[in-house]
Amino acid sequence: MISRRGFLSAGAVAAVPCAFGAGRQPKIGVTDWNLRQAGKLEAVSLARQLGFEGVEVSLGRNLLDGKLPLDNPDIQERYISEAKKNKVRLAGTCLDILHVNYLKSDKLALKWITSGIPITKKLDAKVMLLPFFGKGALSTRQEMDYVGDALRELAPEAEKAGIKLGLENTISAEDNVRIMERAGSKAVLVYYDVGNSTGQGFDIIREMRWLGGRRICQIHLKDNPHYLGEGKIDFEKVMGTIRDIDFSGFANLETSSPSKSIEADMKRNLAFIRRVMASVNRV
């Protein structure tokens, strides 16, 4: 079990800086919803056009015949074909219906997780994001314990499928690990969002170093409503930390569009993060 002392001492045992290893640097993707193409096939080609290595796909929150919109073999095959054609990875899925049926309190959420696992496997997306925001946000220990217990029942299916269930929320790294430990599964990990955690007042560098690359399945990069590099977050430190913890999964831009031009703003943010990665790699 984690200890408070172990968490607070994380900064004193930071990883030794080094260059990104060969094949070990993170891959930069983008969320389909920030492309304003949530659940739309067009997000794949647009991600490629803008220069991203992958796109995070929404599974949909408006049911079709009682099922998730992407719970359709024909649509899944179209995504696979489009990704192959554009040489873009399907970086992960987002079970966004949990914005409607909250995992902390609604039994239907368990059904959607069960449905989302095989879809994510079919898309070879590796990670399924489980969001906890708004009325679905985790605010009490009882709610966190309930989620940990629910995931303990569901995680074996994710393990069998080779899918990671990513916890994205507004609670601390320490509380997320308590949920992970209660779930007792290597399939339950943290989906770390530097913008959300900064907004909650957490020390994101300390948290990421303490979590380490093995407890983070995927990362969201953002500092909304600003362009990357023009807000509160020091992305030199963020990308240096990602390097130091040896994280090599997808770091997906979840950035807003200050100019209202999705293409221009995404290109600008992507160019910035690639410059930072190059700079960090020279240190």
List b or e across 24-43, with b for residues whose CB sees 16 or more CB atoms inside 10 angstroms. ebbebbbbbbbbebbbebeb
Q: Among all chains, which residue has been given the structure tokens 């994101």?
A: 204
- 3 state SS of 47: helix
Q: What pLDDT band is residue 20 in, cutting at 50, 70 and 90?
A: low
pTM for this predicted structure: 0.93
- CATH fourth-level superfamily of 23-282: Divalent-metal-dependent TIM barrel enzymes (3.20.20.150)
Q: What pLDDT band is residue 101 in, cutting at 50, 70 and 90?
A: very high
Q: How far is CA 29 from CA 24, 46, 52, 108, 175, in A?
A: 15, 12, 5, 30, 27
Q: Cis check for the bond before 258: say yes or no (omega within 30 of 0).
A: no
Per-residue pLDDT of 38-89, as tens digits, reads 999 999 999 999 999 999 999 999 999 999 999 999 999 999 999 999 999 9
The answer to whether the CB of 90 falls within 8 A of the CB of 122 is: no
**Alpha carbons 179 and 204: distance in angstroms, whole number:** 19
Q: What pLDDT was estimated at residue 5?
A: 46
Is residue 152 pLDDT above 60, yes or no?
Answer: yes
Domain map (residue ranges) of the chain: 23-282
Q: Among all chains, which residue has been given the structure tokens 């490629």?
A: 48
Looking at the chain, the whole-number percentage of residues with pLDDT higher than 90 is 90
The answer to whether the CB of 38 falls within 8 A of the CB of 58 is: yes
Per-residue pLDDT of 183-220, as tens digits, reads 999 999 999 999 999 999 999 999 999 999 999 999 99
Query: Can you spell out the DSSP letters for 104-139?
Result: TT-THHHHHHHHHHHHHHHTT--EEEEE--GGG---
